[in-house]
Amino acid sequence: MIPFSMRIRSLGALTLMVCVPAGATATVAPQAAPTLHAQTRTDLDASMHGEAYAYATYLMFADEARAQNLMSVQQLFQRTADVELGEHFAEEAKLSALAGSNVANLQAAMTGEEYESHTMYPTFAKQARQDGDIAAANLFEEIAKDETTHHAVFAKALEVVRTGNGSIPAPPSVKPVTVQAGAPKVRAARTKQNLDTALHGEALASAKYTQFAKAAIAHGNQALARLFTGTADVERREHFAGEAQLAGLVAPTRQNLTTAVNGEQYESRTMYPTYARQAKAAGDAKAAELFTHNANDEAGHARAFEDARNQLH
């Protein structure tokens, strides 16, 4: 994962701490929230944010490596992204009981979409326009409209799930954004900070909806699973990607590998060991074990990324 600064924001049913410093796929079975120490839950929330962001970012790094005809590096980023989402995020989501019933998941999704469409993105758009970052303002306004639509679609799906009448709406169509390596296209520090917040929010929403889709499948609702999966694709391939282009998130592959090395080393040496110690002290043995396992994985990722960078000419 990639290190990022600490801040708190609420998205969905959880208040999550945003930490800004080929894998097995865990299945998701909706379950009651386990009893976890408050610090352990905070650390789980932070790590889920980071894993979701790493997944979305590494897929873009993979695309850049492919564009440079560095196919082995492209495959490395792809495999690592799969582990971050399919194993680390999924196992952390399972332990924290992120996914619940279809009704609870739809309500959580609606809460997040309402916040983004009515508060977060309109505020970001207004500030970007004030700061002269017109492209960012326009993008924030466009995404706010999309999130309003998502909220309405989820509300319709919730009505269907509750009453059994009607059909689950079709998933939204995706207009993928191709992200090219380059410098940030915004000037103001406030816009850059807001883009960073938005990027982490979109990455989390995409990863969370992926888990909600698995829960819907477990409940036998394939149509709802398709809706969650389709919305997750919009959040990552359209919203996250558009913001990444403005933020200059993607660089040439050597620099992307350095970014990945630094992030994975931070997680393996500092973040996850700290979380593991705190969980063990709190008596949350399963969380401590998971954090330790992830730390070991991230150390291996760091070595693999470093080896790949050393092999570049």
Per-residue pLDDT of 88-142, as tens digits, reads: 999 999 999 999 999 999 999 999 999 999 999 999 999 999 999 999 999 999 9
Region of poorest pLDDT, from 19-28, 41-50, 213-222: 19-28
Q: Which of 95, 96, 143 has its CA nearest to residue 119? A: 143
Q: Which class for 189: exposed (0-12), middle (13-18), buried (19 or more C-beta within 10 A)?
A: exposed
Using the 8-state DSSP alphabet, how is residue 178 labeled? -
Average model confidence (pLDDT) across the chain: 91
Q: Does position 2 have pLDDT exceeding 80, yes or no? A: no
Q: Which of 89, 90, 66, 67 has its CA nearest to residue 78? A: 66
As a whole number of angstroms, the distance between CA 43 and CA 291 comes to 9
27 by DSSP, 3-state: which?
coil
Q: Which two tokens stand for residue 239?
A: 């919203």
Residue the block writes with tokens 């080393």: 265
Q: What confidence category does residue 198 fall into, taking pLDDT thresholds of 50, 70 and 90? A: very high
Q: Which two tokens stand for residue 143?
A: 């995404």
As a whole number of angstroms, the distance between CA 51 and CA 33 comes to 20
Q: Which two tokens stand for residue 26?
A: 């865990």
Q: Model confidence over 36-79: pLDDT tens digits?
A: 999 999 999 999 999 999 999 999 999 999 999 999 999 999 99
Give the pLDDT score at 1.
53
Give the pLDDT score at 3.
45
Cα 41 to Cα 53, 232, 288: the distances in Å are 19, 24, 12
Are residues 227 and 212 in contact, defined by beta-carbon separation less than 8 angstroms?
Answer: no
Q: Does position 180 have pLDDT exceeding 60, yes or no? A: yes
Q: What is the mean pLDDT of residues 216-232?
A: 98
Model confidence, pTM: 0.89
Q: Model confidence over 138-176: pLDDT tens digits?
A: 999 999 999 999 999 999 999 999 999 999 999 999 999
Domains of the chain, start order? 1-98+252-313 (1.20.1260.10), 101-251 (1.20.1260.10)
Are residues 157 and 150 in contact, defined by beta-carbon separation less than 8 angstroms?
Answer: no
Give the pLDDT score at 313.
74
